[in-house]
Amino acid sequence: MFALNASRAVYLHRDAIDFRKSINGLASLVEHGLGLDAFAEALFVFANRRRDRIKILGWDVNGFWLLHKRLEKDRFIWPRGEAGVVTLSVEQLHWLLKGVDIQALRGHRAVSYQRAA
């Protein structure tokens, strides 16, 4: 069974795509548009222009999975910034699917010391 486990890389395509694309079109976009391996142990996440639909493409042993989620009233909060691809963790993907603004979640900045006082 296909699983969204932590070992998978997650690549989020920032630009909106033509949602008529299915498995072959999305796999081609992954390979030619993003320069990534569509057969890798990874998930590739795409959204439509209105950001009320998401498609997730993933390879599993002997075939592709295509997951599609449509929101009835709300919109997904898509990361802002330049076009291209963003790398997420599976946990961040779950947050995105639940409606959390993943850019607003910021951890503490790293601190390093040379010696204890």
Q: Give the count of alpha carbons within 13 A of 50, CB side only.
A: 9
Listed residue (71, 73, 70, 79) closest to 101, CA to CA:
79
pLDDT digits (tens, 9 = 90+) for 20-49: 999 999 999 999 989 999 999 999 999 999
Query: With 60 as the cut, is the pLDDT of residue 107 above it?
Result: no
pLDDT digits (tens, 9 = 90+) for 65-106: 999 999 988 899 887 766 678 888 898 898 888 888 877 765
Query: pTM (2 decimals)?
Result: 0.83
Going from N- to C-terminal start, the domains of the chain cover 9-98
